[in-house]
Structure 1
Amino acid sequence: MKQALRTGAMALTALLLTAAAPPPGGWYRAVSLTPEGGHLIGNPDASVRLIEYANYTCRDCAAYNVQSEGVLGLAYLPSGRAAVEVRLLTETPIDLATAMLASCGDPARFPLNHNALLRSQARWMELVPHATAAQRQRWNQPDLAARGRAIAADLKLYDVMMSRGYDRQTLDRCLADSVLAARLKAASSAAIAAGVRRTPGFSIGGKLLRNTRDWATLRPQLDESLN
């Protein structure tokens, strides 16, 4: 009897340890969709969850990405105590199209898609002020797929995503995905309803952080939550 109990306890302990173990490559490689429509990067059972609200036309979001991405990946996510959830705001056609491209395919691809779009932002956003009236009309047409394709072509977003290994057919399928668009719009509406007025925005433990727009301001608040 004692042997059976001991064996059962060891099996349970092994199961718990397996459940808590990070995937190959560490917690930074663990990416999952959340019920709120975001992408969770890191341990889903982390004691601290940082939520980042962003959109791809936001210049401060691009600056924050450069400041934080490496530090989070090296100093915060590996322990499994902290995880980051990215939720995208999609109030404009360009924001929606870029969010759909970032979310294309396997969720595991999202973090590097996110980085690629933000790191190349200055290049493709430079094209927006020079768009013709005809191009802007295409960007605002009601058909989701045609609108997304026009934005991706005119702003050379296809080039950004093809550098990530995507082909044109896959990208076009994602740009036509009405279920994906609805999920992103719902997440955006929920963020606005929760009080997010500017991007980047952040919350820790469900509490929206005020006057926090960069890594220098965010980091001490994140550190405090981990103490």
Structure 2
Amino acid sequence: MNKFVLPAIAVAAALGAGGWWYSTQSAPAATETASTAASPVQAQELDFPLGNPDATVTVVEYSSFTCPHCATFNQGPYEQLKEEFIDTGRIQYIKREVYFDRYGLWAGMVARCGGGARYHGIVEMLYEQQRDWAGANDPAQVADNLRRLGRRAGMNDAELSACLEDADTALELTEFYQANAEADNIRATPTFMINGQQYENMPYDEFARVLNEKLDG
């Protein structure tokens, strides 16, 4: 389980290997970030929910694209949850990104490049191929890997460059992440908020038990 201390990152507008670089030197102070951060109320603008919006149970998953435990969850328990609870309309499920590093932010920007219609498909690709695209030590190589993944998802180089070099989106996503993570007291990934109650990573059977109890309640 990956852990961090908030505020975890600050964003500086420095174009690098095809994406955004983090810097603690030129970023706004933590107090300034907190005062201007996107409100959790704005979730509908940046979240892409799955399942039933009228369900009595809502799950919010906080995960990082560079977190191995998150990849394991998304390729295992999540697939079972999707089949048994999300696709059947029993719950609403929301994925929220946590940014430990610049690579995670770049991945989030690529995932959102195709809009809501492509988002979840690209998220699956990012987790399935995490070792392939995130394993390089060279930022330029990671950026190229993400561009290749984006092309496989149907985007062209111009679209990907526009997404990866979008300063406003980089800042908006970071502030949105920080505001929600602080509001929900997120200190590790993956972490889940189920109807406002926090849960750590758990196997499918335990997750299903919790969901069924809340559905029955």
Give the shorter-chain TM-score range: 0.7 to 0.9
CA deviations on 1:39-62 (whole Å, 9 max, x unpaired) are 211222221111000111000000
Distance in 2 between residues matched to 1:95 and 1:113, nearest whole Å: 13
Q: Determine which of 124, 129, 142 is the counterpart of 1:120.
A: 129
1:218 equivalent in structure 2:
207
Q: Look up the SS of the partner of 1:86 in the other structure.
A: strand
Determine which of 149, 161, 168 is the counterpart of 1:172.
161
| Greater RCO, CA 8 A, separation 6+ | 2
Aligned mates of 1:64, 1:175 — CA distance in 2: 26
- Tell me, yes or no, if structure 1 residue 159 matches structure 2 residue 148: yes
Return the TM-score normalized by structure 2: 0.72
Tell me whether 1:190 sits opposite 2:199 in the alignment: no
Counterparts of 2:104 and 2:161, CA distance in 1: 16
Which structure is larger by alpha-carbon Rg, 1 or 2? 1
Displacement of 1:157? 1.3
In 2, the alpha carbon distance for the partners of 1:42 and 1:184 equals 23
Q: Counterparts of 1:82 and 1:175 in 2: how far apart (Å)?
A: 33
Aligned CA distance change for structure 1 residues 203 and 126 (closer, same or farther; 3 Å): same
Amino acid at match of 2:195: G
Shift of 1:214: 4.3
Determine which of 97, 115, 118 is the counterpart of 1:109.
118
Contact 1:199 1:213 in 2 (8 A): no
Q: Would you say how many aligned residue pairs link Structure 1 and Structure 2?
A: 174
Unaligned regions of 5+ residues in structure 1, if any?
1-32, 139-149
Letter in structure 2 aligned against 1:152? A
| Percent of aligned positions that are identical | 27
Structure 2: segments with no counterpart, 5+ residues? 1-41
**Distance (Å, rounded) in 2 between the aligned partners of 1:65 and 1:120:** 12
CA RMSD of aligned residues (A): 2.1
TM-score, scaled to structure 1:
0.69
